[in-house]
Amino acid sequence: MNYYNYKVDCDPFAVDILIALFSTMPFEAFQEVEGGFHAFIPEKDWDGGVEKLVHNLQVDMGFDVEREFIPYKNWNEEWEKNFDPVLVDDFCGIRADFHPPFENVTFDLVINPKMAFGTGHHETTYMMIKAMQSLDIQDKKILDFGCGTGILAILAARLNAATPINAVDIEKESYLNTIENAAKNDVNSLQVFQGSLEVIEDGDYDIILANINRNVILQYLPMLHKKLKPNGLLLMSGLLKEDEHLVLTNATENHFTPIKHQERGKWICQLYQT
């Protein structure tokens, strides 16, 4: 199958929002790169309507975009070239199923993304995984809010979190991809939902993982607090360094106490306690 690759050059903060908007169109895969992302759409699904929608987004949000045709013979090469394995210390290795298994690593995870966010390549996912290394997750009730590929929920399962582990994402592709990746890793303890936080009816979580973006996190801080047990933990990223003060202010106003903070590139990851 032939594809078109839309190479988007944009502000880092806009990447997640734009991927979400592009995913409402027939784009099948996304690859985050330095300075933006690539969006892949099958040639059979491309038409002038898609081009017009992308142009309208470009006018509204001010990004640069270039369209490239990728013949079928180059597609697997492009995919493999852009998805290198990721190693987080000796704790967790993330690879696609066409890569050989990691050696001398505690957890070897196979993640085949329909959308790139959640492969460990992005600084925010990397920091979330690194932070999970030092959390006591065994037998804890976990919610992965904005699960993407399901990588954090799958890792929580491998860390022996309580069953079921709930995972939710507003995007259908993420919902389906989480189910697919859980199966690839022989994880059957996930309960996956499509929608936003409102579709999660229960609470009393020990730990909530939220790797989304600043606006969604700020919007849902009150509800996240209600869904956590006393002394529960909220581990969150998808946040730029310039977001730190705003998020800290809103989190403390919603009765969260800051515990830990880490940075990687332009991004931050924060741990709060109720």
Q: Provide block-wise average pLDDT over 10 residues at a time, the chain (274 residues).
A: 90 86 84 86 90 94 93 59 80 88 92 60 87 96 94 97 95 88 95 94 95 88 97 93 91 97 91 97
Q: pLDDT at position 28, please?
A: 76
Residue 56 lies in a domain: yes
The verdict on 139 and 239 lying in the same domain is yes
The verdict on 74 and 126 lying in the same domain is no
Q: Helix 15-22 and helix 48-61: axis angle, to 10°?
A: 160
Return the CATH number at 8: 3.30.70
The verdict on 150 and 198 lying in the same domain is yes
Return the CATH number at 143: 3.40.50.150
Domain that holds residue 33: 3-81
The verdict on 65 and 134 lying in the same domain is no
pTM listed for this prediction: 0.73
Q: pLDDT at position 116, please?
A: 42
- Please tell me the distance from the alpha carbon of residue 224 to that of residue 84, in angstroms, as a whole number: 34
Q: pLDDT at position 121, please?
A: 66
Total tally of structural domains belonging to the chain: 2
Residue 98 lies in a domain: no
Kindly compute the dihedral angle of the four CA atoms of residues 124, 127, 128, 133, in this order, to the nearest 10 degrees.
Answer: 170
The verdict on 189 and 263 lying in the same domain is yes
